[in-house]
């Protein structure tokens, strides 16, 4: 049985994940001052320019800080499953670009460390009534890579 998947939101990361190109977050870069933003923004928060260009962000970075989300976020905007399970969130520093707040695939604090190399991946977010699996981006410790 084939599971239909879709991204949690259009324009956050490259889609579909077909394996021919690395998964990347989609950001923007201000044409006037070169500020990099994620998610992509039309207007620059630094210089108020209305000109930006799409920029695919690095797929690897380092763990800058992290914590555990131990309670279900308020709804709306959260529309994940009612059966909430705690997860780790962190800031990943993408070299020369910016810090990205993201879910982490590892929630055991004993297996996370500041400065740890992380890689972008996709994780299940929820399943819709029609069986479509909604996925979102997350970062995993790079050591978890499979050969």
Neighbours of 49 (CB within 10 A): 15
Overall average pLDDT of the 24-34 stretch: 97
Task: Judge whether residue 122 has pLDDT over 90.
Answer: yes
**Model confidence pLDDT, tens digit, residues 62-117:** 999 999 999 888 887 788 888 888 899 999 999 999 999 999 999 999 999 999 99
Higher pLDDT among residues 79 and 123, named by residue: 123
Q: Are 136 and 82 in contact (CB under 8 A)?
A: no
Confidence (pLDDT) at 77: 76
Give the Cα separation of 110 and 11 in Å (integer). 34
């Amino acid at each position: 049985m084939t599971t239909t998947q879709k991204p949690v939101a259009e324009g956050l990361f490259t889609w579909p994940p077909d394996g021919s190109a690395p998964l990347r977050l989609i950001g923007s870069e201000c044409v006037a001052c070169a500020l990099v933003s994620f998610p992509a923004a039309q207007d620059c928060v630094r210089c108020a320019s209305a000109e930006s260009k799409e920029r695919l962000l690095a797929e690897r970075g380092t763990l800058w800080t992290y914590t555990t989300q131990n309670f279900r976020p308020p709804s709306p905007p959260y529309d994940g499953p009612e059966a909430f399970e705690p997860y780790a969130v962190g800031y990943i520093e993408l070299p020369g670009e910016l810090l990205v707040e993201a879910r982490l695939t590892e929630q055991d604090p004993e297996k996370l460390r500041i400065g740890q190399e992380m890689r972008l991946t996709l994780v299940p977010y929820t399943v819709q009534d029609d069986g479509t699996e909604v996925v979102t981006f997350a970062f995993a410790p790079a050591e978890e890579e499979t050969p």
